[in-house]
Structure 1
Amino acid sequence: MATALENQNESTNGNPSEEDSEESILVDRFPEALRVSRFTFFTVCILSLSFLLFSSLPLWHTDIWGHLAYGELIWQSGGIPAFEPLVPLSSGIPFIDTAWLSQIFSFQAYQLFGVAGIKFLYAAAITACLGLLLYRIQKRTDSFLWGLLCVIGFLLCDWKQLGIVRPQLAGLLCFVLLFITLNARQWRRFYWFAIPALFVLWANLHGSFPVGLGLIGCFLVGRAVDVGRKSGTWKAMFRDSVTRRYFLLLELSAIAVLVNPYGLRLYTEAFAFSSHPNLAELVEWSPLTLRMYQGKAAALLGLLIVIAYRLTPRRISVAEVLILVGLGTAALWSSRMIIWWAPVAAYYLALHGAAIWGHKRKGLVDEAEENAVHYAGKWTVVSVGMIWICFAVTPIGSRILHGKQVDFEKSVSSTTPIGAVNYLKEKKIEGQLFNSMELGDYLLWDGPENASVFANSHVHLLPQEVWDHYLRIINLGSDGEELLDRYGVNTIVLDLPRRSNLLRRLERSGDWRVGYKDGRSVVLLRNEPIE
């Protein structure tokens, strides 16, 4: 009896069960350096699914096609034109291209992979922003859940802005990278080189680099105020090494921006752009209101931040208040600025939310047990599998792995004027067109070679008189048809149903007939063309 029990105990204690043996084989034989935790797997799932989601979204019909046209011109000519090169009505207008590097990258991606290449750049930029926010929140809170809530808040608030493919997304990626670097718990020596290098890249990818300089400025002023208040004397800020570090970093970054084709002129253009009078009529440059979706999302996010600040046990730094108030005020002035406020607001909400939650739960659980992270090879395997599966079913994955061409019409938004442009090329339309500004970018990219676009999304490059005439025509001004005669317009391209009123008015005049019409656009031809 005793012998049997001893043998049973020996079998139990000395020989692992079949289930334990299988798990041991899987984990023990996997290289320790390559093992990841289940939280890493969850992060990979979120990012892979996000990449898949944004890769599957149709490309919006504005902005991107105009930038591709500029990228093609710069690449083929080997230089950036000094004056606006694509819109004849803007002839002689100085052309300071703040996004020339983004345009070249986009054009090369299109050359190599077609529309799948653009979708890849689009999805990769947004996914990288999500990954950076997840990484920093998990490092600061040891919580995957709060990192997930951070990216959800960011996406909900910036959804409208993220739906448009343009170089601003490259600027957003630079901004998020700078922000999470400045929020690192420990300053690392290579930051002295990495951050100025980031500004060199940023200044050539998009003209939003002043937002990054302002971000560093907020950290500088916030740190100085915190030190002055804590020590009781403002002289202490001059002796504080962190304050001096931010000041020097700001100087180095401002100097790094000068590594661009325009030198100091880039600063002038960047600061003058947002106040250009032509932008005042565009919805995305109008003040943020509660009538807008993003206004409602921002209001909700702001309210949650106020509640979190009231309850948080975590110290609220002056820097974060300056950043939130500064970018929030800018968004109220121009709704397009919400794209910079949203990731910051979501980050600080998650940070203080985690602090509140941790304070409430203190003593209820064993923190060492709760925060223990277990690494296993099986999580590495399923993480790699998740990445592979999601990549394989994206347009870029299908193109690279299977050589499958992406259906262009299914890859772009339903408002892209494909049929209208094909009609213009089939009829070999020439001369000055009048077009809805929103269709101008695609006309620049794929329209007839000898047809001149009236306006595109780069409205700041139009002479103010031409822009005023465009608005009078598109908004049914009494002298609209006289202006069309003045510009010698024989062909009009309008987006539908948005411009249905203008379409009906021109048809009633008897001077125009419909040459082509579908559910997204219409082409009007003058009955008696102007020679």
Structure 2
Amino acid sequence: MATALKNQNESGNENSSEEHEEDAVLVDRFPEAVRVSRFTFFSVCVLSLAFVLFSSMPLWHTDIWGHLAYGRLIWEMGSIPEFAPLMPLSSGMSFIDTAWLSQISAFKMYEIAGVAGIKFLYAAAITACMALLLYRVQQRTGSFIWSMVCISAFLLCDWKQLGIVRPQLAGLLCFVTLFFLLTARNWRKANWVLIPLLFVFWANLHGSFPVGLGLIGCFLVGRAIDVSWKMRNWKAMLGDSKTRRYLILLELSAIAVLFNPYGLQLYSEVFSFSSNPNLADLIEWNPLTLRMYQGKAAGLITLLLVIASRFTPRRISTAEVLLLVGLGISALWSSRMIIWWAPVAAYYLAIHGAAICRWKLKRLADPGAEKVFCAGKWTIVSVGVIWICFAVTPMGSVMLHGKEVDFERSVSESTPIGAVKYLKEKQIQGQVFNSMELGDYLLWAGPENLDVFANSHAHLLPREVWNHYLRISNLAGDAEELLDRYGINTIVLDLPRREGLMKRLVKDGVWRVGYKDGRSVVLLRNKPIQ
């Protein structure tokens, strides 16, 4: 009896063992090349949710519409205009379009999928930046937690900049990609082609490519200083292969930039752009201060970096110092430059934070620090998460369900949709005065023969015209005289920001309200100028 039970138990154990072996065989049969780890699954979840978040954000009412209008014009003309188009008051001004490829790409995407297409490009660019930072930190630290710290710090610092859809996001993706390639542990021969090719695209997508050249320059100078200091001989850097590599790479990248419609002229345009006096009157080009949200975020990250540099067991390279200090100073000079400092600061904060934890705690309880097991089940679940998250985005609704996206819900509350409809119904033409912030949407969706006074491309306006815009907006003593001088019969203002200006104009009896909602107001002259 006992022998029979023993045999039965052994038989049961053998069957159980065979079942486990069969399960293992089933798992093993899943293609090894496409198996992913638990870390990858968690990363996919985070990035997919981020993609959904940014896809659901309303399109801001300024830059994107102006760039779409320029993209439409370039596509229809088949060439880039030599002089500033679209705004008659800018006629005769030289037009160097540093973002023509972004503008055309966005316009064609809009033609295909409407606002859903623009939202897709917007969310994809930011999510790709997050993915590159997350992967590089995880590779260098083996920690999922510190990878999350990196992308969280990046989003915290750049949140205001990331909220505006414009070609600068394409430049940011190029910048993060370059930083990703330069911070790899091992140099790959393919980088000799990939990095110059990246600059070819960058120079045509956005005029921020000098930041990328500066990034390579910091690695070059930093490496040269480190080698010279270590060998106690400045000539040692001449024999260092890594220093020579950065130098050749910088030269190749600088040459690759020349593959653009303007050739060498693009350099002079980009370097002179920031000195345009009109930009000094725009808030986003003002110096970074602690009164700004992004100033507070940058201050917090800087404080954490200082603490981390005090306790980190890692060697702090000269290139790291040059990058953080150089980009930090540029951000203090102009708050818009914070967009380049944030990913670099977030990366080094995570790297040093992970090193401190390993040093102090010896073994950090982190799922990413465990042995990585890849399994087919994580691949299947990851694909499912990506599919579900894509399906709930506007682009997913268009492609998978054939649903039209509600335009009004897809744009910001400040978009002058009602005002534009009114202008079209009344067939208003000729020169109007408008808030600069509304100019981009007026160029894109306004009546065909409507002449916009100003838009976000303030640098295209002659200095005198820009000064007149500011005087009218601030209702200076000669504001009415200037409105008469330009033959303005229609004024389009954003509300509630310009409500004070609207009330003062209407109070004088020269103007009346033709249309008004919570977003904008259209004022009409009681006795139109003929």
Q: TM-score with structure 2 length normalisation? A: 0.98
- Whichever residue aligns with residue 374 of structure 1, its letter is F
Distance 1:354 1:11, change over 3 A: same
Q: Please say if residues 26 and 378 of structure 1, whose CA atoms lie closer than 8 Å, have aligned partners that are also in contact.
A: no
1:23-70: per-residue Cα shift (whole Å, max 9, x none)? 546523422222111100011101111111000000000000000000
1:401 and 2:397 aligned: no
2:185 aligns to what SS in structure 1?
coil
1:480-516: per-residue Cα shift (whole Å, max 9, x none)? 1111111000000000000011001101111000000
Structure 1 gaps of 5+ residues are none
2:404 aligns to what SS in structure 1?
coil
Separation in 1, partners of 2:294, 2:368: 40
2:487 aligns to what SS in structure 1?
coil
1:371 Cα deviation from its structure 2 partner? 3.2
Q: Please say if residues 258 and 264 of structure 1, whose CA atoms lie closer than 8 Å, have aligned partners that are also in contact.
A: yes
Separation in 2, partners of 1:25, 1:387: 27
Aligned to 1:300: 300
Aligned length: 529
Separation in 2, partners of 1:474, 1:387: 48
- Whichever residue aligns with residue 420 of structure 2, its letter is V
Q: Please say if residues 26 and 377 of structure 1, whose CA atoms lie closer than 8 Å, have aligned partners that are also in contact.
A: no
Q: Please say if residues 224 and 237 of structure 1, whose CA atoms lie closer than 8 Å, have aligned partners that are also in contact.
A: yes
Aligned to 2:429: 430
1:251-279: per-residue Cα shift (whole Å, max 9, x none)? 00000000000011100111111121000
Aligned to 1:5: 6
1:404-424: per-residue Cα shift (whole Å, max 9, x none)? 111100100000000000000
2:432 aligns to what SS in structure 1?
strand
1:217-245: per-residue Cα shift (whole Å, max 9, x none)? 00000000000110010000001000010
Counterparts of 1:189-200 in structure 2, within 5 Å, are 189-200=189-200
Separation in 2, partners of 1:291, 1:2: 84
Aligned to 1:277: 277
Separation in 2, partners of 1:56, 1:363: 40
1:350-373: per-residue Cα shift (whole Å, max 9, x none)? 0111111111232688x9994310
1:11 Cα deviation from its structure 2 partner? 2.4
Separation in 2, partners of 1:15, 1:283: 70
1:5 Cα deviation from its structure 2 partner? 3.0
Aligned to 1:360: 360
1:93 aligns to what SS in structure 2?
coil
1:62-99: per-residue Cα shift (whole Å, max 9, x none)? 00000000000000110000000100000000000000
2:177 aligns to what SS in structure 1?
helix
Aligned to 1:16: 17
- Aligned Cα RMSD in Å? 1.6
Q: Please say if residues 69 and 444 of structure 1, whose CA atoms lie closer than 8 Å, have aligned partners that are also in contact.
A: yes
2:234 aligns to what SS in structure 1?
coil
Aligned to 1:384: 383
Aligned to 1:171: 171
Separation in 1, partners of 2:32, 2:218: 42
Aligned to 1:64: 64
Distance 1:496 1:370, change over 3 A: closer
- Whichever residue aligns with residue 288 of structure 1, its letter is L
Aligned to 2:509: 510
Separation in 1, partners of 2:26, 2:441: 53
Aligned to 1:79: 79
Structure 1, 338-347 or 1-10: larger mean CA deviation:
1-10
- Whichever residue aligns with residue 244 of structure 1, its letter is R
Aligned to 2:35: 35
Q: Please say if residues 289 and 332 of structure 1, whose CA atoms lie closer than 8 Å, have aligned partners that are also in contact.
A: yes
Separation in 2, partners of 1:432, 1:254: 43
1:131 aligns to what SS in structure 2?
helix
Separation in 1, partners of 2:375, 2:220: 42
1:15 Cα deviation from its structure 2 partner? 2.3
Aligned to 1:219: 219
2:424 aligns to what SS in structure 1?
helix
Q: Please say if residues 434 and 454 of structure 2, whose CA atoms lie closer than 8 Å, have aligned partners that are also in contact.
A: yes
1:120-152: per-residue Cα shift (whole Å, max 9, x none)? 000000000000001111111111111111001
- Whichever residue aligns with residue 134 of structure 2, its letter is L
Separation in 1, partners of 2:17, 2:345: 51
2:523 aligns to what SS in structure 1?
strand
1:15 aligns to what SS in structure 2?
helix
1:185 aligns to what SS in structure 2?
coil
Distance 1:327 1:364, change over 3 A: closer
1:13 Cα deviation from its structure 2 partner? 5.1
- Whichever residue aligns with residue 374 of structure 2, its letter is Y
- Whichever residue aligns with residue 53 of structure 1, its letter is L
Aligned to 1:525: 524
1:154 and 2:147 aligned: no
2:340 aligns to what SS in structure 1?
helix
Separation in 2, partners of 1:310, 1:337: 26
Separation in 2, partners of 1:130, 1:368: 20
1:464 and 2:463 aligned: yes
1:492 aligns to what SS in structure 2?
strand
1:400 Cα deviation from its structure 2 partner? 0.7
- Whichever residue aligns with residue 186 of structure 1, its letter is N
Q: Please say if residues 142 and 369 of structure 2, whose CA atoms lie closer than 8 Å, have aligned partners that are also in contact.
A: no
- Whichever residue aligns with residue 121 of structure 2, its letter is L
Structure 1, 21-30 or 148-157: larger mean CA deviation:
21-30
Aligned to 1:439: 438
Structure 1, 475-484 or 410-419: larger mean CA deviation:
475-484
Separation in 2, partners of 1:368, 1:454: 57
Q: Please say if residues 278 and 458 of structure 2, whose CA atoms lie closer than 8 Å, have aligned partners that are also in contact.
A: yes
1:325 aligns to what SS in structure 2?
helix
Separation in 1, partners of 2:27, 2:50: 29
- Whichever residue aligns with residue 350 of structure 2, its letter is A
Distance 1:203 1:368, change over 3 A: closer
Separation in 1, partners of 2:370, 2:123: 32
1:16 aligns to what SS in structure 2?
helix
Percent identity for Structure 1 against Structure 2: 72
Separation in 2, partners of 1:522, 1:487: 20
Separation in 2, partners of 1:192, 1:363: 38
1:4 Cα deviation from its structure 2 partner? 2.4
1:307 Cα deviation from its structure 2 partner? 0.5
Aligned to 2:52: 52
2:522 aligns to what SS in structure 1?
strand
Counterparts of 1:79-478 in structure 2, within 5 Å, are 79-362=79-362, 370-478=369-477
1:522 aligns to what SS in structure 2?
strand
2:488 aligns to what SS in structure 1?
coil
Q: Please say if residues 143 and 367 of structure 2, whose CA atoms lie closer than 8 Å, have aligned partners that are also in contact.
A: no
1:359 aligns to what SS in structure 2?
helix
Separation in 2, partners of 1:413, 1:7: 72
Distance 1:513 1:364, change over 3 A: closer
1:16 Cα deviation from its structure 2 partner? 3.2
1:420 aligns to what SS in structure 2?
helix
Separation in 2, partners of 1:247, 1:370: 36
Separation in 1, partners of 2:216, 2:515: 53
Aligned to 1:487: 486
